[in-house]
Structure 1
Amino acid sequence: MIELRRIKHCRACGTPVGYKVPDDDNRERAVCPACGLIHYENPLNVVGTVPVWGEQVLLCRRAIEPRHGFWTLPAGFMELGETVEDGARRETVEEAGANIELQDLFTMISVVRVGQVHLFYRARMTDTTLDPGPETLEARLFHEHEVPWDQIAFRTVKETLQHYFACRRAGSYPLQCSSI
C-alpha cells in the first residue's frame, strides 16, 4: 500500500497531528493529540463521460494545469452533495457545454498512487452544440483515426478511449475495471 500522509494539522483545533493506529482500527490515521479527532484520508472520485455523436467522440483541450493544452474527456472531481451521475453530467456541461443523455457506467479505474478513482459513463450527445467553459481551450468531435493519441492528457482517459473504440467494434460495452 502506498503511504499518503497529507494531513498536517487538525481541522478542528489546528494542533499538529500524529499518525497512529486508533483503538478499534487496523491502519494508521492522522490523530490529533489535543482533541483526539481522527482524520480519515480516502480516495477522491473523478467523474466524467465519453460523449458520442454518431461515430465521433467529444474531447476537450485543457486550459488548466495539469497537462495544459492536452486533450481529455470531460471529467473532474465529484462534489459533495451530488451523485456520481450528477457529477459526470455537470463536468460535461462545465467543460464542453455539451447536451448529453447519460448511459451506463463504462470504466472504473483506480489510480492508487494519487488516491483517486476515475469513473466514466458512456453518453449520447443530443445535439452538436458545444459551449466550452473556462477550463477548456476548445471542445471538438473526433473520429477514432483523428484522435490525437500522443496528446491525451491522462492515462485513464487514454485507456477509456481505447476500451470504448474496441467495445464499439465488438458491439458490446461491458463495464471495464482496472487499476494503474
Structure 2
Amino acid sequence: MEAKYCMTCGSAMEPREIDGIFRSACTACSFVHWGNYSVGVGALVVKDKKVLLVRRAQEPGKGYWTNPGGYIEEAELIHETICREVLEETGIEAVVKSVVALRDQPGRIHNVYIGFSMEYVSGEPTPDQYEVDAAGFYSLEEMATMNVAGFTKWLVQVALHPEGDGLNIDEQPIVPLNGYGLFRS
C-alpha cells in the first residue's frame, strides 16, 4: 500500500527520488516514507534433544507444525517479544540464549525474521487454542511423520545442529544504552 498522506503533518505525499529510489515524501515537511517492514521472531526451545513445536490453528499455515513465534510490538524489546509469544502460545517459560538464525524476505512488505535459541525454564506444553491447537516437544524421528512447515524444518536443523554460539545478549555493555536490546558475538 502506498502512503498518500504524511504521518507527521497530514499533508499529501508525492513520489520523490531519494537515494536513487522513488519514495513517498511529504509535500509540506521533511517526512519520507521509507517503506513497509515487519519483524517476526521465532523460538527454538530444545529440551531433552526435542524441539518445541506448535500446530497452527489459523492461516497462514493452518494445520502446519511450526516453532512458536510472532511479530514484535512497537514498544517491546525483541527478546521480550519472543519470551511472551512462547508463554502465550504454549505455556512454556523460556529465556533467550542467543540469536541463531535470520531470514530476510523482501517484498511489498519487507519481512525480517529472527530465530532465537532459548533455554527451557518450566511448564508443560499447553496450546492456547486460539493461534495454536497443539503443542509439544518433538524429536526428528517424530517430526518425520508430522506436517512440519519447510522453514521450520530449516530452523529445527539450526536448533539441533548449531554451527556456532550465535549472537548473545550483552547484559553489561561498556556504555549503558537503556531501552536497547543488544546482542554480540
Instruction: Report if TM-score (shorter chain) is over 0.5.
Output: yes
Summarize the alignment of residues 112-131 of structure 1 with structure 2, pairs less than 5 Å apart: 112-113=106-107, 114-131=109-126
C-alpha distance in 2 between matches for 1:35 and 1:104: 41
1:92 and 2:106 matched: no
Partner-residue secondary structure (3-state), 2:137: strand
Q: Which residue of 1 aligns with 2:153?
A: 158
Offset at residue 49 of structure 1 (A): 1.0
Offset at residue 115 of structure 1 (A): 0.9
Normalised TM-score (structure 1): 0.77
1:58 and 2:52 matched: yes
- Give the gaps of 5 or more residues in structure 1: 1-5
What is the RMSD computed on CA atoms of the aligned residues? Answer: 2.5
Go from structure 1 to structure 2 and tell me whether the alpha carbon gap of 1:115 and 1:139 turns closer, same or farther (over 3 Å shift).
same
- Deviant stretches of 4+, over 6 Å: none
Indicate if the aligned counterparts of 2:11 and 2:27 stay in contact, CA closer than 8 A.
no
Q: Which residue of 2 aligns with 1:7?
A: 2
Offset at residue 8 of structure 1 (A): 4.0
Q: Which residue of 2 aligns with 1:175?
A: 166
Indicate if the aligned counterparts of 1:19 and 1:30 stay in contact, CA closer than 8 A.
yes
Normalised TM-score (structure 2): 0.75
Go from structure 1 to structure 2 and tell me whether the alpha carbon gap of 1:38 and 1:154 turns closer, same or farther (over 3 Å shift).
farther
C-alpha distance in 1 between matches for 2:159 and 2:146: 17
Paired AA for residue 154 in structure 2: E
Indicate if the aligned counterparts of 2:11 and 2:28 stay in contact, CA closer than 8 A.
no
Offset at residue 86 of structure 1 (A): 0.7
- Give the gaps of 5 or more residues in structure 2: 168-185
Q: Which residue of 2 aligns with 1:3?
A: none
1:29 and 2:29 matched: no
Partner-residue secondary structure (3-state), 1:151: coil
Offset at residue 107 of structure 1 (A): 0.7
Offset at residue 139 of structure 1 (A): 0.7
C-alpha distance in 1 between matches for 2:114 and 2:103: 7
Q: Which residue of 2 aligns with 1:81?
A: 75
Q: Indicate the percent of aligned positions where both proteins have the same amino acid.
A: 23
